[in-house]
Amino acid sequence: MGTFFSRGESMSKILIIDDDPMVARMVGFILKKKGHTSIGAENGSDGIAKLKAGGADLVLLDVEMPDENGIAVLERIRAEGDTAEAKVCLMTGTLDDEVYAAADRLGAVGCLAKPVEAAALMEVLESADI
């Protein structure tokens, strides 16, 4: 008794950590159209808990969140043994040298400008081997 949809090797699970539910929905919609699944988290602590609980092939992490900024969250992800190797891409409305420097220092797979464009998101997925 099979199901019509099965999780194939090409389908990836993407964790979106963003305090704006509209951004998470929009990015999730783009990912779904490309055959990926996504789960959302509204803050860094929730995101790290979800990453530890179920893993993710890629984390899309908002830099500008009210409780804890994304760079601090990425530092926490890198400090934890079970999440240290996670593939993380930063997302922000203000891409600047500071964000690029933090992304480079913390081993992020990329930086996306918000609003996120489908083509740029697909480039990040491709460069991260997702």
Per residue in 61-104, pLDDT tens? Answer: 999 999 899 999 999 999 999 999 999 999 999 999 999 999 99
pTM of the model: 0.91
Whether 7 shows a pLDDT value over 80: the answer reads no
**Domain boundaries, position 59:** 13-127
The answer as to whether 1 is a domain residue is no
| pLDDT the model gives residue 30 | 96
What does the mean pLDDT of the chain come to? 91
CATH number at residue 110: 3.40.50.2300
Q: pLDDT category, 11, cuts 50, 70, 90?
A: confident
| pLDDT the model gives residue 55 | 82
Compute the average pLDDT of residues 1-24.
73
The answer as to whether 54 is a domain residue is yes
Q: How many CA atoms lie within 13 A of 59 on its CB side?
A: 34
The answer as to whether 21 is a domain residue is yes
What is the identity of the amino acid at 17? I
The answer as to whether 8 is a domain residue is no
Contact 26, 56 (CB under 8 A): no
47-78: b (≥16 Cβ within 10 Å) or e: bbebbeeeebbbbbbbbbbeeebbbebbeebb
Whether 4 shows a pLDDT value over 60: the answer reads no
The answer as to whether 5 is a domain residue is no
The answer as to whether 97 is a domain residue is yes
DSSP state string for 9-74:
TT--EEEEE-S-HHHHHHHHHHHHHTT-EEEEESSHHHHHHHHHHH--SEEEEES--SSS-HHHHH
Q: Which helix (H) or strand (E) holds 111?
A: strand 110-113
The answer as to whether 55 is a domain residue is yes
Report the length, in residues, of the chain. Answer: 130
Condensed to tens digits (0 to 9), the pLDDT of residues 25-42 reads 999 999 999 999 999 999
Kindly state the tokens that stand for 79.
Answer: 């400090």
The answer as to whether 3 is a domain residue is no
Q: pLDDT category, 48, cuts 50, 70, 90?
A: very high
| pLDDT the model gives residue 64 | 95
| pLDDT the model gives residue 35 | 95
Number of compact structural domains in the chain: 1
